[in-house]
């Protein structure tokens, strides 16, 4: 499933189920960044034929943006207060669809570096 497909499906659920003012979400800066990152992952997949989780340069940067947004959900969300969980679900789904283990909140290249260090190999 493409990143934009994921965003669209989850947005439909938000609109149908419980987001009181979907127009507030549509105008939200979070939505703009999420949409841009979903489109970026789609373009990456189209161009390289692989998920961002397999790209140890671009994937790390992409992951850090979305992971940083998850941290921002702890701040003031204005009219979207109370919907941090819905927004977080979109971010987590995008990261998982691209091959990241979000539960660990570790970028894959960090795991490789850890494994190299444990094996006594220097980068």
Per-residue pLDDT reduced to its tens digit, 30-39: 888 888 999 9
Summarize pLDDT for 45-84 with one digit per residue, the tens. 999 999 999 998 999 999 999 999 998 888 877 777 777 8
Domain count, the chain: 1
Indicate if the pLDDT at residue 44 is higher than 90.
yes
Percentage of the chain exceeding pLDDT 90: 31
Domain that holds residue 107: 3-118
Distance CA(24)–CA(30), nearest Å, equals 11
Whether the model pTM is above 0.75: no
- Closest listed residue to residue 38, CA positions, set 64, 2, 69, 72: 2
Give domain status of residue 123, yes or no: no
Per-residue DSSP letter, 20: S
C-alpha dist (Å) from residue 24 to 29, 30, 45, 77, 120: 10, 11, 30, 11, 52
């Amino acid at each position: 499933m493409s990143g934009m497909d994921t965003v669209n499906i989850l947005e439909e659920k938000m609109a149908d189920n419980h987001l009181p003012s979907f127009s507030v979400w549509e105008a939200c800066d979070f939505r703009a960044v999420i949409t841009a990152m979903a489109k970026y992952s789609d373009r990456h997949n189209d161009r390289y034929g692989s998920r961002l989780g397999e790209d140890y340069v671009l994937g790390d940067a992409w992951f850090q943006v979305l992971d940083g947004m998850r941290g921002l959900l702890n701040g003031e969300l204005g009219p979207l207060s109370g919907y941090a969980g819905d927004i977080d679900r979109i971010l987590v789904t995008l990261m998982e669809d691209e091959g990241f283990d979000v539960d660990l909140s570790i970028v894959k290249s960090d795991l490789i570096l850890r494994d190299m260090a444990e094996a006594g190999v220097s980068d």
